[in-house]
Amino acid sequence: MSDDSGSGYVTGGEYSRDSNYITDRITADGSGGWPVEAGRYRLVVARACPWANRAVIVRRLLGLEGAISMGMCGPTHDERSWTFDLDPGGRDPVLGYERLQEAFLARFPGYDRGITVPTIVDVPSKQVVTNDFGQMTLDLSTEWTAFHREGAPDLYPEKLRDEMDEVMQRVYTEVNNGVYRCGFAGSQDAYDQAYARLFTALDWLEDRLTGQRYLMGDTITEADVRLFTTLVRFDAVYHGHFKTNRHKLTEMPVLWAYTRDLFQTPGFGDTIDFPQIKEHYYVVHADINPTQVIPAGPDTANWLTPHGREELGGSPFGDGTPPGPLAEGEEVPADHGPGGIGHR
């Protein structure tokens, strides 16, 4: 079964994500063979994918655009691979590839696991380095500090890491992956259990965020990035397509205000392409949506309405500063953002 981060499987009706990733790391000391080096690596993403969206946001918040280039796949893929169909001639202009799969096969000729985004590719050899999305963004925060912009936030503060790791693990299992367990459930019982777990976690988050502006307190961290990329897709995709329909996000007052607060923070909402998100899920998941018809709604103009979260105090970047304008060529088309009407 194909999903937006590669592949998964259903056993006994219950969906499990294939999490067998390439776990190489790019580190400041280069101890694993991949040293931090500006201009050497290319981050390959797709705007549709929540796991890749994390890396897009973190790269932007930290100001790493000049150090790590970014390649963009289109919103759909087939069983083999994500493709560069948004680029002229359907080829990534830096790697020269039509398919992300080519970077995996260049290093592992018999590679037979999921071809997933985000992926970091070594430009000189055109070989995959890693597609370990969980570690990747933490390394952008901790190993790439020499290339962070002035005023960049500390997204993985050392003093908070133990608690953060617990929060992020629960967010991953119960929310980020929880929506998929609902959507791909192969039996009523598996769906019912997945649904209960998801909304138990969302209720926990609603409570946690009632008295504090962000998941870890007064400033944004990686934990917020990870939760945001699921919540921003909730009403557009998961509520209907994945049957996560106890409530819409817009009907959960605290989480709706929290997600709008983040959406309106530079680096978050300006990475979101609603038509690409919808096209991906409703076209690629043909087993769930055999007609591949893409819904016209929901209206996204409400993402820009006041959220009122400033009253809780705190500041998204603490003593730092927001990122500057989007890099040239990385802007989301105007009609693909809040209130946009374009489908694709």
Q: Please say if the pLDDT value at position 51 is more than 50.
A: yes
| Whole-number pLDDT of residue 80 | 84
Q: What is the pLDDT of residues 234-257, one digit of tens each?
A: 999 999 999 999 999 999 999 999
Separation of alpha carbons 206 and 198, rounded Å: 12
Give the C-alpha separation, 297 to 236, whole Å.
Answer: 7
For residue 6, pLDDT beyond 50: no
Q: What is the CATH number of domain 2-147?
A: 3.40.30.10
According to DSSP, residue 336 is labeled G
Catalytic residue among 49, 73, 214, 258: 49
**177-235 pLDDT, tens per residue?**
999 999 999 999 999 999 999 999 999 999 999 999 999 999 999 999 999 999 999 99
Q: Which residues contact 63 (CB under 8 A, 6 or more apart)?
A: 147, 148, 149, 150, 152, 323, 324
Between the alpha carbon of residue 78 and those of residues 4, 6, 98, 275, 283, the distances in Å are: 11, 10, 13, 18, 10
**Rounded-to-integer distance, Cα 147 and Cα 79, Å:** 36
CA distance 141 to 152: 10
For residue range 100-139, what is the model confidence (pLDDT) as tens digits?
Answer: 999 999 999 999 999 999 999 999 999 999 999 999 999 9
172 is catalytic: no
Identify which of 214, 215, 185, 211 has the alpha carbon closest to the alpha carbon of residue 197.
185
Q: How far apart are the first and last CA of the chain?
A: 24
User: Distance between CA atoms of 129 and 147, rounded to whole angstroms?
Assistant: 19
Q: Is the model's pLDDT at 304 over the cut of 90?
A: yes
Residues annotated within a binding site: 82
3 state SS of 124: coil
Output the pLDDT for position 20.
81
Q: 156 an active-site residue? A: no
Residue 344: predicted pLDDT: 36
Which amino acids are annotated as binding site for glutathione, given as ranges? 82
Look at residue 5 in the predicted model and tell me its pLDDT: 47
pTM value? 0.95
Which CATH class for the 158-336 domain?
mainly alpha
Confidence of residue 340 (pLDDT cuts 50, 70, 90): confident
Q: Which of 41, 97, 180, 281 is catalytic?
A: 180
Sequence-distant (6+) residues with CB within 8 A of 274 are: 236, 300, 336, 337, 338, 340
Q: Where are the domains of the chain?
A: 2-147, 158-336
Determine the pLDDT at residue 10.
63
**pLDDT value of position 7:** 56
Is residue 147 within 8 Å of residue 160, measured between CB atoms?
no
The answer, yes or no, to whether residue 4 has pLDDT greater than 90, is: no
Across the chain, where does the E strand assignment appear?
A: 2-3, 6-11, 14-17, 41-46, 69-73, 119-122, 127-130
Query: In sequence order, what DSSP letters do the residues of 257-281 get, joined into one string?
Result: HHHHHHHTSTTSGGG--HHHHHHII
The pair of structure tokens assigned to 172 is 């991953």
Q: At what angle do helices 133-142 and 50-62 cross, to 10 degrees?
A: 0
